Amino acid sequence: MPFERFVQSGRVAYVSNGPNKGKLVVIVDVIDQNRVLVDGPAAKIPRGQMCLSDLHLTKFRLKIPFTGPTRVVRKAWKMEKIEKKWQATVWAKKVAAKEKRAVLSDYDRFKLRKAKRMRNALRTEAFYGLKNGTIKFKSNKKLAKKQFFRKYESYSISSNDFDWPRL
């Protein structure tokens, strides 16, 4: 598989450092081997230069003319629906999860640790149950999940807050 993420006009990049950290920008022009001219239509980042070491190139590329004005970049951004495409990527989901985890309080971290411990116990039980043949899954996944978690209903941790094993 050949390399496809080139520093080029129209390439969408993720800002990894500086005051605009965590935002998406579009490379409008290459100034030299270390700097590029960028424009951030969605994040309200004014057109300016950035170091390439502060950017991570994404797989998205807009079809804009060489040094196209901001209005053209904004229009291409909306037509390509870059925000939706970005939110659907694994990269964006990991960034969102990292931000979500960073704002957890001490009690939230405690609840998360307890939930993970319980989830791992359930996974282990399910694994050995499948291995020994004591657990048989029905065709209805929701019913099987309910049956499996019935003995853990007394716990106060919501099953919607955490990623439970998929049955």
Instruction: Tell me the chain's radius of gyration from C-alpha atoms.
Output: 23
Q: State the average pLDDT over residues 154-167.
A: 51
Give every CB contact of residue 84 below 8 A, 6+ residues apart in sequence. Answer: none
Cα–Cα dist 40/77, whole Å? 10
Confidence of residue 131 (pLDDT cuts 50, 70, 90): confident
Per-residue DSSP letters for 21-85?
A: TT-EEEEEEE-SSSEEEEEETTTTEEEEEEEGGGEEEEEEE----TT--HHHHHHHHHHHTHHHH
Query: Which pLDDT tens digit goes with each residue over 19-51?
Result: 999 999 999 999 999 999 999 998 899 999 999
Confidence of residue 61 (pLDDT cuts 50, 70, 90): very high
pLDDT of 114 above 80: yes
